[in-house]
Each structure stands twice: as structure tokens, then as C-alpha cells.
A and B are shown apart, each in its own frame.
Chain A
Amino acid sequence: MATNTDTNTSPTDDTASKRVVDDPILEIEDTNVTYSEGDTYVLEDVNVTIDRHEVLGIVGESGSGKSMFASALLDAVPDPGLLTGKIHYNRKDGSTVDILQMSDEELRQFRWEEISMVFQGAMSSFNPTMKVGSHFKETLRTHDKNVSEGMEFARELLENLYLEPERVLDSYPHELSGGMQQRALIALSMVLDPEVLVMDEPTAALDLLMQRSILQLLDNLQSEYDLTIIFITHDLPLVASLADRMAIIYAFQFAEIGPRDEIIGNSAHPYTRELLNSTPNLDAPLEDMQPIEGEGPAPVNVPSGCRYHPRCQLATEKCRTDDPPFSPVDGGGGHRSACHYREEAREEIPLNFGKTAEDFDQQLVSDPTDGPNAGSTATLETTSDTPLLSLDDVEVHFGEEQSLIERFTQDPTVVRAVDGISLDIEEQDLVCLLGESGCGKTTLGKTMIGLQKPTGGSIEYRGHDIWEAKAGNTDIPYKEVRSALQIIHQDPGSALNPNRRIADILTEPLRHTHPNIGRAERRDRMHSLLERVGMTPAGDFLERYPHQLSGGEKQRVALARALLMDPDAILADEAISAVDVSLRIGIMDLMLELQAEFDTSFLFISHDLSNARYFAEHGDGRIAVMYLGEIVEIGSAERLIHDPRHPYTEVLRWATPNLDLDAMDAEDPPIREIDVPDPVDPPSGCRFHTRCPVAREACREEQPKLAELDDGDGAAACFREDPNHAYWNSEPLDGAAENPEGLEQH
């Protein structure tokens, strides 16, 4: 624990905070959470006041203490943690209670009725054998509420969350998609009509489009039901679109708090500024996005002085010894920061998203035939050389294998996970597959590297059909194909054998690719590769087990293991999703550098356009946008972001949070339906027509083909590309825009 008394507990701080908090609903004073009999702090010296009806966004990396703060607000710190301090809750009637002094019964009633919570991983807290409606009824009964009235309110909440109440209430949890389950949980958390909603990473497991849509719905709910929302996340740009105020937690303490615009546009803490600069986004020039070196400390290893000093580029001796006070910035206004060098931070660490539009506009006006992506319209064609991988009309349909006897009387139930995709991947190429869950991107990726057998079409590796090779019908040994095409999974933890040391994990591929080298040479190779992926001292890491590594380190080991196979292509399936935001750029940079060094191609799967943009733009690659088993648009990152031709690409662009304060306050989603249609029964014609904001009758009847663009790189599958198409004379579908051009303004 820091012993400097002039920390978060400074009496002036509280005064400063209250200047902008007119009607505090929660006053948290001198609050700590400790373990190990008080020796280890996982939340330290917190003094924060939360205003009634505000949205406070709290941002921190994994292990920073932000979830502990959420638990503290409900006095629900997991055993054997010890929560001390004062948390005053001010009711509307003027009475005040100290949550930490409540009896068990008082606490039971208080939770959910006055402060409710959607915690991280709440989607695992359903009773799988009980329908969703019974979850609502049980909640109402447990709190002695009128079930019939409560269920009416539940239906209203579900409807406000764009769900069909009767269908959802009559479903088992597993019958709903992740996005629907999450919205049902939000409705469950609100059914007792609480004043405060605490949300801890409520959308982290969802696609960006669903996350953004849910945030928009939360914004509406907050106004309609006068809620106070405390939204805790690792994703700074996401919560910025919703928050009135924002707080940054670093190493178990509040590092900065203030009005949203101050934190984003005029932050006075190096960590906040560097976090903003390290966040992949669509606005900043790529070269200015920089990872933060190092990682946040563990509770048992908190540095002396300023906790951020080991990672801070401005740190001095003073920072190493003196804990900076958490005190008002610029004389108050509710902005507080814990840094000795606030002015220097503002001067020395310029924010990279200030230079946005002009840079891109300049790139865009340049001739599309110039530049690194010239010719990427050839996405659907081969160059003169044989491509590394060639997909020809590839289909992966699940459910086709049923026997004739058992075939249903109606159409057979078939999920068209991948439906008629043709795509060439060249040597040292880079392609990002972008889309929502269930769009088929992972199935397509696995098909590309021979892990999934297509049910139609063909996939060739350097001119050899992969599945013919597996059957032994080609010149090339299947073993060679298999080792040439590698995969890195989203969760490196589950991909690394927990019972084997890193040395053993890396030895395996080396034995495969270099069976004749001796032990010493094997160790040398592992040593140098680990150093190359930034894991030093390598000798130390080689002796560790996976559980002794951080998420970023595990992902580096997974990358090293894939590279030891000397692959021609690596499929990275959401490979940076599990990595902290401040480290993502670093991992992506590493992949890009290694791609060049090892002459590999990269297939990068993501639901996040800003990550895909970083990868594709830096690596001179393409982004392929997928929707319900099809590629609907493909092209360079610049073109897709600044001149999207398919409405779905435009929607994904909307869903990608940015840091531009002028454009930050979210508008309603530019889609007519939030949920993706059932892949078993995809819509007729253009599959996006049920959600498309500019769909017309023609889109319901005819399926657009992916066609190369005349005036830009890549291709798109939308009738709006053809000025003579019947689309322009057909009627807009229900809820679609009369004037399709309006979409471009998003």
C-alpha cells in the first residue's frame, strides 16, 4: 500500500468532485478492498461521488481493479476480500444509508431493487433448464413483488430492448443469441425498477455492432427510466459515446476522472493520453498509434510512488518516490488527475486523433490506381502466378448429410455457413475477414487453411486441391500442406497445453519441421524466436508454464509456435480480442513485422473494423466484409472506411466507436433490425435486405453479385452500384429510407 497520505484521500479532492455533482446518489469515501489480511490492495483509497441520473464510464485494463469497484458498490466483494470505508447511498426521499453497514437482509432487498448489476460473465448465470420468463417471475417473487404487474413491466422493457417479449419469455436461454441473452439480462436487472444500474463489461462478449446497438438502447433506457448508470469497461471509445463523465482506473486506484469531453479531449494524465493513443480506431493516422510498453502491475507488486511510473515516458525520480495526489486539474470543474506532470503530459503526449479527416481525405482524392493497394480489385482474380490459396465457389453447408429416409418432409434444414465464395490469397498477402458472429468468417477461415472440408467448390494450395492431397490423389504430400497453413486462436490460454512448459510447447513444431537438429540447436532457435517476439529473457520464459504468462505473452507464444512450422499462411482468429487494448497495437505490429520476415500470408478474422483497418492498412492488405455466409464487399481499408459501397459495411463503420468528440454522441443504429436473421433460413434476394436501411423491393427478389467497382478498388455486392438497375425504380421496404443517399451521411 502507498503510505503517502496525500493521495486519493486529499480533502480538497472531494470538494472538487462535488462541484459538478449536484445531486449525489452515491458517495464513496476512503474505500479499500484488501486480501491477505490487509496486505494486498485490489482497490485503494477510492473517493468518488456519483451524480443521480448520470452515466459514469469507468475504464481500466484487465486486473486494474475496476470489477472490484463494481462489486464494492453492492458490498459483494468475493471472499476472502475485505471491504472497508463508506459507501453512502442517497435515496430520492432524502434519506441516506451506508451500504457497508447494512444487515444481510437489508442488503438482499437493496441489491436489485435499488442498485442492480449486470456483471461480467452474467450470461453464465442463467438456469439453463428454466425459460427466460421464469427467470423474471422468480426475481419478482424473491423480492415479494406483484408478479403480474412485474411481468407487464418486463414485457415493456424487452420491447424497449428491441426484443419480441412473448418469444423471449417463452425461450430457454440457449435458444437466444448472445445479443438477445444480454438484452434479456439487462431487462432482468431492471425489472425491480432500480435507481442505479452497475454494468461490468456487459457487452464484452458480443460483436461490435451488437455492443454499439446495446449502448444506444441503454442510452434510451437511461432517459426513459431516469437511471444512474455506472458502466465499467476496458473499451474506452465504446463507453465514451454513452458517458457523461469518465474515470480511468490504473493499478487499483483512480488515475483520472472528469467530464467526458475533458477526459477524451484534454486529459491530464499520461496513462489516459497513452491509452487513447494506443486504442485502434478509425480516426487516427496509423503511424501515430502506439502501444504502451509493459503491463499493469499485479496487486502484490505495486510500484512505489506513482504506480504508472515504470511505463510512463515522462517519469522522473519524483514519480518513483512520491505518490501523486488525486487533485483538481485546472482549478477544478470536476476534473481530477493523479500526476505530478499534468501540463507536461498535455504538451509532451499529443493526442493522435486530432489530425483525423484531412489525412484521409488526401489519401482518398489521390488516384485509386496509385499506391500500395492498386490492383487489389484483382481480389477475385488470379495474378499471372499461381496464388498461394485459391477458393473457387466454396460452400460449407452444415446439415446436408442427412440420409434420404430421414430427410424432412419440407426443405432440409441446412445452415449455409459459407455460400459460394471465390477468393485468391497471394504469397505474403494479407486479408481480414470482417463480420458479426455467425456470418461464417471463422468457417471460411478454417476452410481456407484446410481445417474445414467444403461441401461445394474447391480450395487449392499452390494449385493443388487440399482435399485431394489429403486423399493422396496429388503430387504434394498432405503433411506439407498441413504444416504450411497454421492457426492462432482467439484464446491462447486454451490453445496452449497447461501442463507443458513453453520449451516443450515450442519443441513440438521444431521436431516436425527440423527433425534432424540436435537439442542445443533446437533450444537456440526457440531462444532467438522468443526474443524476436518480445519475450525476454527468453531462457526464463522457456521454463515457464502457460498459467505463468499474461494474455499478451500467451498470444506471443502461440505466434512463435505457428512460425516455427515455417508456414506460408497463418489464420489469426480474433487473435487480439483477448489482449488488453494498450497491447493490441503491439501484437499487431509484431504480426506485421514477422509476416515480412517470415514471408507468410496472414488471414486475420475480426468483428472490429478498427483492428482490421490497422492490420490491412499497415500490411497493404484487403478487408473482406462477410454477411450470412457471403462476401458482400472487399477492398482496401482506406476505401472501405471512407467510401463504403455496401450498406452493411457502412453499418459496421457506424458500429466502430471513434474518438472524435464532434461525432461521438451516437445516433440510432442505421439498421432496421438489430438481430441477425436465422442462418438456417436466410432472407431471399440480398440477405441483408431485412436490416438494410436503404433496401427496396428489388433487394427482396434478386440476389446481387459481388462485382468489381469501376471507380475504386475491390468489389461490392449491391444493386446501388448499377445506375440502371431496377432497384432505383422499386419501392423502399417498410422502414427503409426514401432517399438512399441519406445513408452516406452517417
Chain B
Amino acid sequence: MTRYTPECVDDTLFLVSEDDGTRIEVGTVDDIVDAVGGETYVIEYDDKQQAQPWLDTDDGVLEIDVREVVTTMSHTEEMVSELADYDMSTDRYGLPTRTVEFANQLVEILERQGSS
């Protein structure tokens, strides 16, 4: 399973294959942060979840620095494959479609955690 790690070149984020160095452009970090909806994303955990010994939260609230996550978190080949279906030049909400799709997928990853 190939993993894709983030790499920033002049504020533009690429996901780069750890296997062979192939890369896909995702968009500028500023655009991604805008598409996610802001610099911070908040996950709330319920009583049971926050009792897990690995969770260090403030009353069950985990504040995530979107800019940091975007530039550090690696992704699966499957996700990259889905991103590749979207174009960088087509505007959607004033942003490249692939950038918006990446933000959607990132939010989906974050939304899987915490109480819904």
C-alpha cells in the first residue's frame, strides 16, 4: 500500500508517493484552510470516548490546527486516486475543484472521530 506524504512548495501542497516520488498537486494551503472552513477544526468526544487513556482533551474538546494537519498528515493511495478525478483548473466556489475535494476528504477523516 503506497502512502502519500505532504510536501509544500511555495505554499502549494503536493501529496508525494513514498514509493516512487510521483506527486499530485492539491492546492495552496491557504485555499485548503478556507475550504475546510478556518484555521481550527474542533472535535468533541462524549464521556465514554474522552475516558480513553490516549485522548488528551480539554473537557472532551480537541482543537485541531488545520494548517498543521494539512502539512503533516499522510494519505492513502485510494484517496489520491479519488483526488485525481478532480481537476485543478476548474473553479468551484472560487477554488480549484481538487482543492475543495481534498478539503472535503480531510473533513470526512476528522468527522469520523468524536461524537456525531
Q: Do A and B bind each other?
A: yes
Q: Which residue numbers of A lie inside 8 Å of B, CB to CB?
A: 71, 76, 78-79, 111-112, 119, 121-130, 134-136, 138-139, 142-143, 172-175, 188, 192, 398-403, 406, 408-410, 412-415, 678-681
B53: Cβ under 8 A from any A Cβ: yes
B11: Cβ under 8 A from any A Cβ: no
For B47, give the chain A residue with the smallest CB separation.
Answer: A78
Q: Please tell me if the beta carbons of A129 and B47 are within 8 angstroms of each other in the complex.
A: no
Q: State A495–B112 Cα separation when bound (angstroms).
A: 19
Q: Which residue numbers of B lie inside 8 Å of A, CB to CB?
A: 1-3, 17, 20, 22-25, 43, 45-49, 51-56, 62, 64, 68-69, 72-78, 80-82, 84-88, 109-110, 112-116
Q: Please tell me if the beta carbons of A401 and B53 are within 8 angstroms of each other in the complex.
A: no
List, in ascending order, chain B residues with CB within 8 A of A125's CB. Answer: 45, 48-49, 52, 55, 113-114
- What are 22 A-B contacts with C-beta separation under 8 Å? A76-B47, A122-B49, A122-B52, A124-B49, A124-B112, A124-B115, A125-B49, A126-B113, A128-B112, A129-B72, A134-B54, A136-B54, A143-B53, A172-B74, A175-B74, A398-B81, A401-B86, A403-B87, A410-B20, A413-B81, A414-B81, A680-B81
For B21, give the chain A residue with the smallest CB separation.
Answer: A409
Q: Please tell me if the beta carbons of A129 and B69 are within 8 angstroms of each other in the complex.
A: yes
List, in ascending order, chain A residues with CB within 8 A of B88's CB. Answer: 406
CB distance from A42 to the nearest CB of B (A): 15
The 8 Å CB contact of A175, one of B3, B51, B72, B113, is B3
CB distance from A41 to the nearest CB of B (A): 20
List, in ascending order, chain B residues with CB within 8 A of A124's CB. Answer: 49, 112-116
Q: Please tell me if the beta carbons of A138 and B47 are within 8 angstroms of each other in the complex.
A: no
Beyond A174-B109, A681-B77, 6 additional contacts (C-beta under 8 Å) are A127-B113, A130-B54, A399-B84, A408-B17, A413-B80, A678-B78
The 8 Å CB contact of A127, one of B25, B62, B87, B115, is B62
Q: A402-B85, A413-B80 are in contact. Are A111 and B112 (CB under 8 A)?
A: no
Q: Please tell me if the beta carbons of B85 and A76 are within 8 angstroms of each other in the complex.
A: no
List, in ascending order, chain B residues with CB within 8 A of A174's CB. Answer: 75-76, 109, 112
Q: State A415–B80 Cα separation when bound (angstroms).
A: 10
The 8 Å CB contact of B84, one of A122, A188, A402, is A402
Q: State A679–B76 Cα separation when bound (angstroms).
A: 11
Q: State A142–B23 Cα separation when bound (angstroms).
A: 39
Give the interface centre of B17, B22, B110, B116 by most chain A CB atoms within 10 Å: B22
Closest 10 CB pairs of A and B: A399-B81, A402-B84, A125-B49, A408-B22, A413-B81, A135-B54, A138-B54, A139-B53, A401-B85, A174-B109
Q: State A192–B73 Cα separation when bound (angstroms).
A: 28
CB distance from B96 to the nearest CB of A (A): 12
Q: Please tell me if the beta carbons of A175 and B75 are within 8 angstroms of each other in the complex.
A: yes
Q: State A400–B85 Cα separation when bound (angstroms).
A: 6
Q: Please tell me if the beta carbons of B49 and A128 are within 8 angstroms of each other in the complex.
A: no
Q: Please tell me if the beta carbons of A680 and B77 are within 8 angstroms of each other in the complex.
A: yes
For A130, give the chain B residue with the smallest CB separation.
Answer: B54
Q: Please tell me if the beta carbons of A128 and B51 are within 8 angstroms of each other in the complex.
A: no
CB distance from A184 to the nearest CB of B (A): 11
Q: State A679–B49 Cα separation when bound (angstroms).
A: 31
Q: State A410–B2 Cα separation when bound (angstroms).
A: 12
List, in ascending order, chain A residues with CB within 8 A of B87's CB. Answer: 403
Q: Please tell me if the beta carbons of B85 and A175 are within 8 angstroms of each other in the complex.
A: no
List, in ascending order, chain B residues with CB within 8 A of A112's CB. Answer: 53
Q: State A71–B112 Cα separation when bound (angstroms).
A: 23
Give the interface centre of A125, A135, A680 by most chain B CB atoms within 10 Å: A125
Q: A128-B112, A129-B69, A408-B22 are in contact. Are A78 and B84 (CB under 8 A)?
A: no
Q: State A418–B110 Cα separation when bound (angstroms).
A: 28
Q: State A71–B46 Cα separation when bound (angstroms).
A: 14
Q: Please tell me if the beta carbons of A415 and B48 are within 8 angstroms of each other in the complex.
A: no
Q: Please tell me if the beta carbons of A406 and B54 are within 8 angstroms of each other in the complex.
A: no
Q: State A188–B115 Cα separation when bound (angstroms).
A: 20
List, in ascending order, chain A residues with CB within 8 A of B2's CB. Answer: 680-681
Q: State A134–B45 Cα separation when bound (angstroms).
A: 18
List, in ascending order, chain B residues with CB within 8 A of A192's CB. Answer: 53
Q: Please tell me if the beta carbons of A680 and B64 are within 8 angstroms of each other in the complex.
A: no
Q: A400-B85, A406-B84, A406-B88 are in contact. Are A679 and B51 (CB under 8 A)?
A: no
Q: Please tell me if the beta carbons of A679 and B78 are within 8 angstroms of each other in the complex.
A: yes
CB distance from B67 to the nearest CB of A (A): 12
List, in ascending order, chain A residues with CB within 8 A of B68's CB. Answer: 129
Q: State A18–B109 Cα separation when bound (angstroms).
A: 48
List, in ascending order, chain A residues with CB within 8 A of B47's CB. Answer: 76, 78-79
Q: A175-B74, A409-B20 are in contact. Are A129 and B81 (CB under 8 A)?
A: no
Q: State A79–B53 Cα separation when bound (angstroms).
A: 19
Q: A139-B54, A175-B75 are in contact. Are A78 and B82 (CB under 8 A)?
A: no
For A412, give the chain B residue with the smallest CB separation.
Answer: B84
List, in ascending order, chain A residues with CB within 8 A of B62's CB. Answer: 127
List, in ascending order, chain A residues with CB within 8 A of B69's CB. Answer: 129
CB distance from B94 to the nearest CB of A (A): 21
Q: Please tell me if the beta carbons of B81 and A142 are within 8 angstroms of each other in the complex.
A: no
Q: Please tell me if the beta carbons of B51 and A76 are within 8 angstroms of each other in the complex.
A: yes
Q: Please tell me if the beta carbons of A76 and B48 are within 8 angstroms of each other in the complex.
A: yes
CB distance from B12 to the nearest CB of A (A): 14
For A67, give the chain B residue with the smallest CB separation.
Answer: B48
List, in ascending order, chain B residues with CB within 8 A of A678's CB. Answer: 1, 77-78
